[in-house]
Amino acid sequence: MSVYFVREPKGGFYMYFENTNLENLTADQELIESIMKKNGLECDGGWDYERMTFDKRFDTREGRYYLRVFAYAISGDVGAHDAILTLMKPALGKYYYPHGVEYGDDEVYPAHLVKKCEEILKKVKLDLDGFAIQTTNKNNLEPVKAR
């Protein structure tokens, strides 16, 4: 697993986690919510009818940081809890009061925090492995056999 920075159109940088094998993983919303919660990632209001954001807060001596796992619905409705979600690349950002989470190019991400986030993401991946759905297209969902 590695990390890299990407400049976003809004001017900030996201620190993305690469090679987590979570990106494009698809599963039932209730299952993803349950596994994320088990691993300390909550979706407290971070959703609309097509997307969800799962956060884990870290308070360190260097500041407050959030590990974020983004997801979007390929079918169903997030508000009705009947969606099939696809995960996107996880990111790490630093919180600044009163502005919120920033992903600036001058952010410093402590090595111990990055390592902890990588461990959490590995656990999420292991928990989801047996339940993921492989999609060839958005209308044809096929279960993936557990490895």
Of the listed ranges 13-17, 21-25, 76-80, 114-118, the one predicted with least confidence: 13-17
pLDDT at position 108 is 78
For 9, what's the count of Cα atoms within 13 Å in the CB-facing half-sphere?
Answer: 0
Which pLDDT band holds residue 135 (cuts at 50, 70, 90)? low
pLDDT at position 98 is 78
pLDDT at position 1 is 60
SS (H, E, C) the chain: CEEEEEECCCCCEEEEEECCCCCCCEEEHHHHHHHHHHCCCECCCCECCCEEEEEEEEEECCEEEEEEEEEEEEECCCCCCCCEEEECCCEEEEEECCCEEECCCCCCCCHHHHHHHHHHHHHHHHHHHCCCEEEEECCEEEECCCC
pLDDT at position 10 is 42
Residues 39-72: tens digit of each pLDDT? 999 998 878 889 999 999 999 998 899 999 999 9
pLDDT at position 122 is 97
Q: Which residues 6+ apart lie within 8 Å of 126 measured at CB? A: none
- Residue 110: is the preceding peptide bond cis (ω within 30°)? no
What are the structural domains, with CATH classification, of the chain? Answer: 2-143 (3.30.310.100)
- The structure's pTM equals 0.80
| R_g (Cα) of the chain, nearest Å | 15
Residues 82-124: tens digit of each pLDDT? 999 999 999 999 888 777 776 666 677 899 999 999 999 999 9
pLDDT at position 96 is 80
